[in-house]
């Protein structure tokens, strides 16, 4: 659905984006991540037609943003980090204004806006001036305007900024549901949110692509080994020996003692070998119950820090 090829953006001698390429598949929710100043917002502004590229191309549904900008913009709904709302308008006035800008037929405007406002949870605020809304509700109005015209692609920059925990969960679930009908690029500093919503991530650093893959594959690729914790009820010497006898296990060590009858072990194995099944059978055969088993694979935060850490140690 979106093809970005050798994209570069220069401001004088400064290269904000350096020859980056990636694609976003139809119906995919892609996480777009990077530290401040990495080139995220610049890239999103180029994709949506707010900024021209210095070099390279962006195509949306086969249309080039430079050659056929109107066709591209018809297919994109954009929520910038600061929602583009007019504070002296009421919610309904503003959304109708955006509908006119997007050439939504008059006969379809009311039904479409009613659906969008209900979806975004702002139906009860249609008559209020936007300047009197909380930051969270302004964010919802910004999300609503991005949905007008039913675009194929949504580009969402920090869509949950300013929302309380309950609203964050609601918007997260809304984004998931929108992913069934739209292709979505989601930029967020709340990395657990990206993990929960996105199927694949692109990490940009210093204007260059640092990583592209699913969080699971990135974790496997960056880890030299697989690690897990196991809380097991049984004598340490026997349990430790049984663990070490499992094919693929490199070592184990005691991490803690939750209570007098159990110990928690850290188990490291070859990253290509899943030791959970043989571990279960070994302990079951010996009569030592596994109370808890957890993966210690890298989180998205770990991955983000690892691929964006520069030699000087600055993140």
CATH number for the domain harbouring residue 237: 3.30.70.3190
Q: Give domain status of residue 65, yes or no.
A: yes
Give the pLDDT confidence score for residue 223 in this predicted structure.
67
DSSP string, 8-43: EEEETTEEEEEEEEEEE-TT-EEEEE--TTSSHHHH
Give the pLDDT confidence score for residue 82 in this predicted structure.
83
pLDDT tens per residue across span 253-273: 998 887 878 999 999 888 788
Residue of 269, 174, 207, 237 whose CA lies nearest to 9: 207
Rounded to the nearest 5 percent, the helix, strand and coil shares of the chain are 35, 30, 30
Q: Give domain status of residue 114, yes or no.
A: yes
Q: Are 230 and 264 in contact (CB under 8 A)?
A: yes
> Do residues 168 and 265 both lie within one domain?
no
Give the pLDDT confidence score for residue 311 in this predicted structure.
39
Question: Domain tally for the chain?
Answer: 2
Give the residue, 72 or 227, on which the prediction is more confident: 72
Q: Give domain status of residue 208, yes or no.
A: yes
pLDDT classification of 167: cutoffs 50, 70, 90 = confident
Give the residue, 125 or 190, on which the prediction is more confident: 125
pLDDT tens per residue across span 20-66: 999 999 989 999 988 888 888 899 999 999 899 999 999 999 999 99
> Do residues 66 and 181 both lie within one domain?
yes
pLDDT, averaged across the chain: 88
- Cite the beta strand spans of 102-160 per DSSP E: 153-157
> Do residues 142 and 237 both lie within one domain?
no
Q: Are 151 and 144 in contact (CB under 8 A)?
A: no
Please give the share of the chain, as a percent, with pLDDT higher than 70.
97
> Do residues 89 and 199 both lie within one domain?
yes
Least-confidence region, from 33-47, 160-174, 267-281, 286-300: 160-174
> Do residues 215 and 249 both lie within one domain?
no
Residue of 38, 49, 2, 43 whose CA lies nearest to 184: 2
> Do residues 88 and 184 both lie within one domain?
yes
pLDDT tens per residue across span 224-263: 678 889 999 999 999 999 999 999 999 899 988 878 789 9
Distance CA 4, CA 137 (A): 33
> Do residues 228 and 82 both lie within one domain?
no
Give the pLDDT confidence score for residue 224 in this predicted structure.
64
User: What CATH number is given to the structural domain containing 179?
Assistant: 3.40.50.300
Give the residue, 122 or 307, on which the prediction is more confident: 122
Q: Domain residues for 80?
A: 2-219
> Do residues 55 and 123 both lie within one domain?
yes
Q: Give domain status of residue 308, yes or no.
A: no
> Do residues 34 and 145 both lie within one domain?
yes
Q: Give domain status of residue 314, yes or no.
A: no
Is pLDDT of 290 > 90? yes
> Do residues 245 and 210 both lie within one domain?
no
Write b or e for each residue in 135-171: b if 16 or more Cβ atoms lie within 10 A of its Cβ, otherwise e: ebbbbbbbbbbbbbbebbbbbbbbbbbebeeebbebb
pLDDT tens per residue across span 88-142: 999 999 999 999 999 999 999 999 999 999 988 899 999 999 999 988 888 889 9
Q: Give domain status of residue 246, yes or no.
A: yes
Is pLDDT of 310 > 80? no
Is pLDDT of 9 > 60? yes
Give the pLDDT confidence score for residue 312 in this predicted structure.
41
Q: Give domain status of residue 310, yes or no.
A: no
Is pLDDT of 314 > 50? no
> Do residues 204 and 242 both lie within one domain?
no
Q: Are 185 and 215 in contact (CB under 8 A)?
A: no
């Amino acid at each position: 659905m979106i093809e970005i090829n050798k994209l570069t953006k220069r401001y004088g001698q400064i290269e904000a984006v350096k020859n980056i390429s990636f694609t976003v598949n139809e119906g995919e929710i892609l996480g777009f991540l990077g530290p401040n100043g990495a080139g995220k917002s610049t890239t999103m502004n180029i994709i949506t037609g707010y900024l021209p590229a210095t070099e390279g191309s962006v195509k949306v549904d086969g249309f080039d943003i430079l050659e056929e900008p109107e066709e591209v913009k018809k297919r994109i709904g954009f929520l910038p980090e600061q929602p583009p709302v007019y504070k002296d308008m009421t919610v309904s006035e503003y959304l109708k204004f955006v509908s006119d800008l997007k050439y939504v037929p008059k006969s379809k405007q009311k039904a479409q806006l009613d659906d969008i406002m209900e979806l975004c949870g702002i139906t009860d605020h249609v008559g209020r001036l936007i300047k009197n809304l909380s930051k969270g509700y302004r964010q919802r109005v910004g999300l609503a305007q991005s949905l007008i015209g039913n675009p194929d692609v949504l580009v969402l920059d920090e869509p949950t900024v300013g929302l309380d925990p309950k609203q964050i969960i609601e918007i997260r679930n809304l984004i998931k549901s929108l992913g069934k009908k739209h292709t979505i690029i989601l930029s967020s500093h709340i990395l657990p949110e990206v993990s929960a919503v996105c199927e694949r991530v692109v990490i940009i650093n210093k204007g260059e692509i640092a990583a592209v893959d699913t969080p699971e594959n990135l974790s496997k690729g960056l880890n030299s080994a697989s690690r897990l914790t196991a809380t097991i009820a049984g004598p340490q010497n026997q349990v430790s020996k049984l663990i070490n006898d499992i094919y693929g296990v490199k070592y184990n060590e005691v991490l803690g003692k939750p209570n007098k009858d159990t110990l928690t072990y850290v188990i490291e194995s070859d990253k290509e070998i899943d030791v959970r099944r043989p571990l279960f059978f070994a302990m079951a055969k010996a009569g030592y119950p596994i109370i808890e088993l957890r993966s210690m694979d890298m989180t998205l935060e770990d991955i983000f820090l690892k691929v964006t850490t520069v030699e000087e140690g600055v993140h």
